[in-house]
Amino acid sequence: MERESKQIVDKMEKGFLKDMPNESVRRILENAMKVFVRRGLAGTRISDIAKEAGFSQGFVYNHFASKDEIFTEISRLAAEGSLRVIEEVSGFDSTPYEKIYWLTEVLTAPDTLVQHHFKLVLLQTISYETMPDETKKIFKESAIKQIADICKILEEGQRIGEIKQEDPVKLAFGYFAMVQGIAVIRMQSSKQMFLPDIENLLGFIKK
Amino acid sequence: MERESKQIVDKMEKGFLKDMPNESVRRILENAMKVFVRRGLAGTRISDIAKEAGFSQGFVYNHFASKDEIFTEISRLAAEGSLRVIEEVSGFDSTPYEKIYWLTEVLTAPDTLVQHHFKLVLLQTISYETMPDETKKIFKESAIKQIADICKILEEGQRIGEIKQEDPVKLAFGYFAMVQGIAVIRMQSSKQMFLPDIENLLGFIKK
DNA sequence: GTCTATATACCGATAGAC
DNA sequence: GTCTATCGGTATATAGAC
């Protein structure tokens, strides 16, 4: 179980790194992601990103046309990575509840691309009006697909009596509320984390 | 039960309105709170706040010295209101689980000061570096007190066998993760809300 | 009390040097 | 390939009019 979730996380991080035109672009995106999450979109200066990546301010514009373009690119990568995880787990040869269990392990693991996705979703949520239209679209579509994928697993679980008999959409929303909430708590108390075991957290889903 | 949670919410909103030096200040703060949550701290212009409150841009400076001062004042009010709710519920003449149940009802009710508190906490979390030092202090102290208050209720519940026998700190963190998560989901899908009943959500706490 | 007009500073984006 | 210098726009905060 432990090894399995590590494998998924690995596969994701690889997905993030591949398809990068060059090393500079990778370094900019990787560091921009960190800074955006610490300062918000409007609060992040190009010079902040440049500094974090170890470049000069002007250099960033050799690879990206604007701050929004960087942010959009990051959002796309994070959303794709996050979706890939759910698909990965869906394909597992195990029971629906086990799939959800693994998924939770991966989604709540610290310092992963998925965590960044959650953070970007939060950013999007909490300063919606200032977001580029493109990222609004990206996150919306990604959210719909995620809910749908989880629903599929939950419904299968209900059929074999593993999951509580309640509206699967409600359960899926509740599930994401919990996982998002954990991401928030994790950001707030980066060092000490006192959270119930996954088995406990999933109490409201299990039959 | 229904009436009770409405009463608490009412009491809170009153707390927010009272002690305001004058109507203009109240209108500015009330509208600034809305705008900050939609645009973030850095993304909000003084002119945005003024517009939302129906004043001119310059007028805001007759009552506040800076954007940070407005934000700090709002944070203080929200944190105080949120703490007052928990204290209110703690004083109820009912069992610990019932207290938690009511609290959840209040904390997840839409369009309340508590919801704004959650949103401001999210803002604080997701753009920490750009926050005034004063608000960092406010939210940190408020969070510690909240966790402590919840712990007290949970421990009492464990003594009488109503609450699961697990580290109460862990349960409290899990509880706040869930409630925060619900606030996020609520913001994302303002119209349709598909969430499991409170009774279900509290499954991971109840014995 | 409330608004309009302005200075001052900062940041995003460009252009040009090495 | 990377940096420095600079322009132009925008937002904060102030000052002064009604």
- pLDDT tens for A57-94 read 999 999 999 999 999 999 999 999 999 999 999 999 99
Q: Do B21 and B52 meet the contact criterion of CB atoms below 8 Å apart? A: no
Residues of chain B with Cβ-Cβ distance to A164 below 8 Å are 200
Quote the CA–CA distance of A104 and A86 in Å, as a whole number.
Answer: 10
| Minimal Cβ distance to A169: which of B176, B177, B194 | B194
Quote the CA–CA distance of A190 and B104 in Å, as a whole number.
Answer: 25
Backbone angles phi, psi at A165, to 5 degrees: -80, 80
| Minimal Cβ distance to A177: which of B128, B171, B182 | B182
Q: Is the pLDDT of residue A179 over 70?
A: yes
pLDDT-flagged residues of chain B (< 70): 1-3, 14-19
Q: Is B66 helix (H, G, I), strand (E, B) or coil?
A: coil
Residues of chain B with Cβ-Cβ distance to A188 below 8 Å are 121, 125, 143
- Predicted local distance difference test score (pLDDT) of residue B68: 98
Contacts of B20 (CB under 8 A, 6+ apart): B26, B29
Structure tokens at B82: 């949120």
Residues of chain A with Cβ-Cβ distance to B201 below 8 Å are 174, 204
Q: Is B19 helix (H, G, I), strand (E, B) or coil?
A: coil
- Predicted local distance difference test score (pLDDT) of residue B17: 63
Q: Which nucleotides of D are covered by protein (CB under 7 A)?
A: 1-5, 11-16
Which range scores top for mean pLDDT: A105-119, A148-162, A176-190?
A: A148-162
- Predicted local distance difference test score (pLDDT) of residue B25: 96
DSSP labels for A149-163? HHHHHHHHHHHTT-B
Quote the CA–CA distance of B79 and B120 in Å, as a whole number.
Answer: 9
Residue A192 — very low, low, confident or very high, per pLDDT cuts 50/70/90?
confident
A7 touches strand D (CB under 7 A): no
- Cβ contacts, strand C, under 7 angstroms: A 44-47, 57-58, 61, 65-68; B 24, 55-59, 62
A180 touches strand D (CB under 7 A): no
Under DSSP, the state recorded for A206 is B
Q: Is the pLDDT of residue A99 over 90?
A: yes
Q: Is A166 helix (H, G, I), strand (E, B) or coil?
A: coil
Q: Is the pLDDT of residue A139 over 80?
A: yes
Nearest one of A16, A176, A11, A201 to A92, comparing CA atoms: A11
Q: pTM of the predicted model, to two decimals?
A: 0.94
